[in-house]
Amino acid sequence: MVSIKLFDSERRVIEAAERLAASLGSDPNHTVAAAAMDTVGRIHEAVNVYHFTGGPCAELVVLGAAAAAGAGPLVTIAAAGDRGRGLIPPCGRCRQALLDLHPDVFVAVPTDDGPALRPIRRLLPDTYFSPDADARRIVRFNKRYYEDIATARKTSTVRYEDPIAPGPAIFLFEDDEAPRTLEGTVTGVERHRLDRLTAEQARLDGFTSIDQLKKGLQGHYPGLPSDAEVEFVTFTVEAPDAVE
């Protein structure tokens, strides 16, 4: 499975969930904590509410807490159990809610090699997606592309296992400190095999050659197969700026 690099900002989300979980004590009605980061880097926290009628999980409570703070779409979410249980993955109900309400969120999960991030779609493959969710979409970029995208010098990107839909989106530039954002629109999405991308597509993505594009993709997606199915995505930004 292709791994996703954890930024320091995302590690802070995990740490916030674990820290809150460690403070819960012995109250049987609150046993799991969750933390979620929004597109401006704020981290929202909440705990579950156990009740025999079906109290909400911590992940659902933190969605409400973030919404109450005017957070908008969430970037990263993590949950941790009390009494030293550490990071825990979301249940099926929470996965479906996250997919419908925050379809581009990355979820922290425990692995044998430590915490890892998974796109929510990977945690719930081949599932039903609510057509009425009307969720705000996010497209992620490395922070080094901010200037080129803000000035419209870069107007395309190649993605792997990162479904992007045409339409308005928040362009999120990931960083160890806090993300930066631009408002934009995805204008087209085409599927290609990685080994069949053209030199023109590499040029539009800001690379001088196909080999340079492949090297960049394999750096971003460690373990990327040479014949992987990728998406060539074109986009525009609102009112491109002259960035100093």
Task: For residue 87, give the amino acid letter.
Answer: L
Which residue is associated with the tokens 């690099």? 5
Nearest to 238 by CA among 168, 141, 188, 136: 168
Nearest to 120 by CA among 133, 130, 111, 107: 107
Options 3.40.50.300, 3.30.565.10, 3.10.129.10, 3.10.400.10; CATH of 138-237: 3.10.400.10
Could you read off the pLDDT of 50-77 as tens digits, one per residue? 999 989 999 999 999 999 999 999 999 9
How is the chain split into domains, by residue range? 8-123, 138-237
pLDDT at 188 exceeding the cut of 70: yes
Cβ neighbour number for residue 42 with a 10 Å cutoff: 13
What is the per-residue pLDDT for 241? Answer: 56
The domain 8-123: what is its CATH number?
Answer: 3.40.140.10
pLDDT at 79 exceeding the cut of 80: yes
pLDDT at 90 exceeding the cut of 90: yes
What is the per-residue pLDDT for 244? Answer: 41
Question: Are domains 8-123 and 138-237 of this chain identical in fold?
Answer: no
Could you read off the pLDDT of 125-182 as tens digits, one per residue? 888 888 788 899 999 998 989 999 999 989 999 998 888 999 999 999 988 787 899 9
pLDDT at 83 exceeding the cut of 70: yes
What is the per-residue pLDDT for 5? Answer: 73
Q: Determine the Cα–Cα distance for residues 56 and 144; give it in Å rounded to an integer.
A: 39
137-146 as b/e: b if 16+ CB within 10 A: bbbbbeeebb
**Mean pLDDT in residue range 89-114:** 96
Most confidently modeled of 55-64, 178-187, 200-209? Answer: 55-64
Catalytic residues: 59
pLDDT confidence tier of residue 3, bands split at 50, 70 and 90: low
Could you read off the pLDDT of 5-48 as tens digits, one per residue? 788 999 999 999 999 999 999 999 999 999 999 999 999 999 99
Helix (H) or strand (E) holding 46: strand 43-47
- Does the reported pTM lie above 0.85? yes
**Mean pLDDT in residue range 94-103:** 96
Listed as own residue / partner, the contacts of 46-50 with beta carbons closer than 8 Å and 24 or more positions apart are 47/20
What is the per-residue pLDDT for 6? Answer: 86
